[in-house]
Amino acid sequence: MLEQSDDMASERPFVSVIIPVYNDPRGIRMTLDAVTNQTYSPEGYEILVADNGSTDNTRDVVRKYSERFPDLVHLLVEDEVQGPAAARNAAIPRANGSLLAFIDADMTVEETWLEDAVASMESNDWDYMGCNVEIYIEDGKDTLTAKYNQIFGFPIRKYIEEQQFSGTGCLVVRDTVFDEVGDFDERLFSGEDQEFGNRVYDAGFDQHYQPAITMYHPARSSLLELLKKHFRLGRGRAQMQRYHPERVEKPSLLNPRNYLPPHPIRFYKRITSSASLAWHEILLLFFIAYLKRLSATSGWVYEHFSEDDG
């Protein structure tokens, strides 16, 4: 746990924990188990779960936690606009905290997560902080897709230092930042975290990576799930080019780089520096990487022609 002074402990800010969720009863249960079991005083934070129109029993799971922790866990519903940006935006105006801590459903944290996050933000006077994310493989799900996901993971430090944003699942932000730059762009199917972070950077707020705070995300073990994710990312890329052309380059659909496999030498160096793998595993992981790229390109092309049809 990060050290904090006695003065800080006595004047700690109120924190709003925001969790968007859609059709993930198991994931939200994992996350709520973790965030309701914090060393931070229960009177010092609230948990806002923003359900994005779930059609299964996700909402019932959240209600059980709100009944168990009536002053801590609160269920909100955003079922008009689909997407994590809309879900988070539904919670932001309801948040009472001077610090907003975002975490995704299916992620878990140490019991000192909030203590450490508050200590970092307050002692350093930070406005925008991204935390380390560790990908772990669940029991019985040690597939090649899970290994691929674990190797490439979430390079939050690189995102912040090179692209001026943090993934939203591991983000802590002061409420004054939203007052200045606005909420997440609900038009984006994905990539809303990058667009928001870029606005924060342009507004002159400081952005920091905190490696001392680790959050945990299960690896995607299904190839289909991985490809669906990157199809969404491809759609988000096209939407970013449509709504924020000043932030991204709009390459031609005919550019061969969109359809070529990853550079084999660079790919080999990357994965062998992270894990010990047999040759057949390396080849299969290369194939997964190529399918992932084609899936993202497919999402991009799909969204491009959807725009033309509209």
Q: What is the 3-state secondary structure (H, E, C) of 116-155?
A: HHHHHHHHHCCCEEEEEEEEECCCCCCCHHHHHHHHHCCC
Per-residue model confidence (pLDDT) at position 189: 84
Distance CA 24, CA 207 (A): 31
**Cα atoms found within 13 Å of the Cα of residue 39, Cβ hemisphere only:** 13
Per-residue model confidence (pLDDT) at position 5: 45
Mean pLDDT of the region 213-221 = 96
**In this structure, are residues 217 and 106 in contact, taking their beta carbons and an 8 Å threshold?**
yes
pLDDT tens profile 9-64: 457 899 999 999 999 999 999 999 999 999 999 999 999 999 999 999 999 999 99
7: confidence class by pLDDT, cuts 50, 70, 90:
very low
pTM of the model: 0.91
Per-residue model confidence (pLDDT) at position 162: 96
Number of Cβ within 10 Å of residue 206's Cβ equals 12
**How confident is the prediction for the chain on average, in pLDDT?**
92
Per-residue model confidence (pLDDT) at position 250: 67
Tell me which of 65-69, 223-227, 302-306 is least confident: 302-306
Tell me which of 35-39, 102-106, 236-240 is least confident: 236-240
Give per-residue burial for 264-302: e unless 16+ CB within 10 Å, then b.
Answer: eeebeeebeeeeebeeeebebbbebbebbbbbbbbbbee
Using a pLDDT cut of 90, give the percent of the chain over it. Answer: 83
pLDDT tens profile 132-173: 999 999 999 999 999 999 999 899 999 999 999 999 999 999
> Does 9 or 127 have the greater pLDDT score?
127
pLDDT at 8 over 50: no
